Amino acid sequence: MIDLHSHILPETDDGAESFVESLEIIKKVEELGVKELIATPHYFEGVYNRNFEENMKTLIELNIYLKENDLNFKVYLGNEVYICPNIITLLEDKAITTLNNSRYLLMEFPMMDIPTYAKDIIYELKLRGIVPIIAHPERNEKIVENPNILYDFINMGVLAQLNLGSLVGQYGSKVRETAEILVEHNMIHFLGNDIHSSKLDFNIIDKGMRILKRKVGEEKFEEIKNTNAQLVLDDKPIDIEEPKRYVEKGRFKTLTSYFLNQIKRVSL
Ligand SMILES: [Fe+2]
């Protein structure tokens, strides 16, 4: 697996606190089949403002540290950018960076909301050839309420990254159900573990992968697990399968019984 979303960069944000902790995390995830990681430190205006140059310096130090410890493992750099109106300026000023300097930008929505300007930002990014990847959409409350919000974004050219932990209930049952819906409706294109600490229950990686494979089948699993992320690292275009609009089962049942009742009325 190529992990597209991690807070593995030491002494940077609320993730790994030291080089020792980064090493510990990498050893654990490597055992579970993670081959490469993209470090995606938070960029959140007024909270986490470490810029590209500072993060790159730490990344180089980390990769040297891994080699010194006989670990043949490469970490790449990106950001998890909290959506804000001036995202384009931040990119131009090199305050933030795309994933491995590609056309793909990992972007985070607030947990409880989607800003009204989100569509404008997506449009502006696409206009400049940048493809936004929404980080863990299954955790956003608005998308939990209505998964088709993501369907509309995908039709605007956005891609989406799932946290494996969501599939095993790490964030509760509603997030788990939403994760399943998104996966089943072709709305997920990448995986991440959003690792912040060596104290994580790393079994979620294995469990999450098994659930995903069962749900989507071998071919699609490989695409989500490796192929698409490799295309990101290589800055190549990604062909995606059409997303499917979600129809709520409860609502569908109600509609079906409504039409059945109408038919009964006509036949009476
Ligand atoms: Fe994150």
Is the pLDDT reported for residue 117 higher than 90? yes
In tens, the pLDDT along 160-183 reads 999 999 999 999 999 999 999 999
CA dist., res. 107 & res. 118, Å (int): 11
For the chain, domain boundaries:
2-267
Q: What confidence category does residue 46 fall into, taking pLDDT thresholds of 50, 70 and 90? A: confident
Going from the Cα of 266 to the center of ligand 1, the distance in angstroms, rounded, reads: 55
Q: How far is the CA of 205 from the centre of ligand 1 (A)?
A: 16
Centre of ligand 1 from the C-alpha of residue 136, in Å: 8
Q: Band of the pLDDT at 253, cuts 50, 70, 90?
A: very low
Considering the chain, what percentage of its residues have pLDDT values greater than 90?
91
First to last CA, the chain: 59
Indicate yes or no: pTM above 0.95: no
Specify the CATH number for 2-267; select among 3.20.20.140, 3.40.50.720, 3.90.120.10, 3.40.50.2000: 3.20.20.140
Angle between helices 203-222 and 173-184 (to 10 degrees): 20
Q: By C-alpha distance, which of 241, 199, 245, 205 is closest to 225?
A: 205
H or E segment and range at residue 87: helix 87-92
CA of 161 to the centre of ligand 1 (A): 11
pLDDT value at 268 more than 50: no
- 118-132 pLDDT per residue, tens: 999 999 999 999 999
